[in-house]
């Protein structure tokens, strides 16, 4: 489909410009504090674009990457001042988002000194997280303690930022 093709070729610069425009709009809204906390989450192609955005444009934004191609350049990751959560499936057949890719991402984040939680779930492949209802339905691996890490990752970072800015 035409929309699928557009998604597959959208360059990082375009994604960065679009997300920056959204954040400028949000900052212009009544009641939004200056330097408000930001979190970026993406699935698959969007997961790779999410970490691409935070490493180049918003290093203070928390990032959740759901089976997206990770940034592995330690120099780029070292710019991040907010935590990163990575969610991957151990049976993912794609070389850029499989178990080995998740391990490389975890190592690069550790070397860069970035707070992170990169989890590779056994028994699932690519695109295994379909909706938040999977937690309510107690489906695995989403219902495990580590599975809900992503659900708490962004709120914890954002709340911490709001609390710090209120001091």
> pLDDT tens digits for 116-131?
999 888 888 888 877 7
Among residues of the chain, what percentage have pLDDT more than 90? 56
In three-state form (DSSP H/G/I as H, E/B as E, the rest C), the secondary structure along the chain is CHHHHHHHHCCHHHHHHHHHHHHHHHHCCCCCCCCCCCEEEEECHHHHHHHHHHHHCCCCCEEEEECCCCCCCHHHHCCCCCCEEEEEECCCCCCCCCHHHHHHHHHHHHHHCCCEEEEEECCCCCCCCCCCHHHHCCCCCCCCCCCCHHHHHHHHHHHHHHHHHHC
Where residue 163 falls among pLDDT bands split at 50, 70, 90?
A: very low
pLDDT digits (tens, 9 = 90+) for 54-89: 999 999 999 999 999 999 999 999 999 999 999 899
Question: Six-digit token pair at 72?
Answer: 């592995």
Q: Could you give the CA distance from residue 158 to residue 44 in angstroms, rounded to a whole number?
A: 23
The values of phi and psi at residue 100, to 5°, are -65, -40
pTM: 0.82
């Amino acid at each position: 489909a035409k929309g699928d093709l557009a998604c597959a070729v959208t360059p990082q610069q375009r994604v960065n410009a679009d997300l920056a425009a959204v954040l400028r709009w949000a900052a212009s809204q009544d009641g939004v504090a200056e330097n408000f906390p930001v979190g970026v989450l993406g699935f698959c192609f969007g997961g790779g674009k999410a970490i691409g955005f935070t490493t180049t444009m918003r290093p203070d934004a928390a990032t959740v990457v759901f089976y997206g191609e990770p940034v592995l350049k330690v120099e780029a990751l070292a710019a991040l001042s907010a935590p990163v959560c990575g969610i991957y499936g151990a049976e993912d057949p794609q070389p850029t988002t499989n178990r080995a890719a998740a391990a490389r991402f975890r190592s690069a984040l550790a070397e860069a000194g970035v707070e992170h939680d990169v989890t590779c779930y056994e028994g699932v492949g690519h695109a295994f997280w379909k909706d938040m209802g999977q937690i309510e339905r107690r489906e695995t691996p989403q219902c495990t303690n580590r599975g809900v890490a992503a659900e708490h990752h962004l709120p914890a970072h954002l709340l911490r930022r709001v609390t710090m800015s209120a001091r």
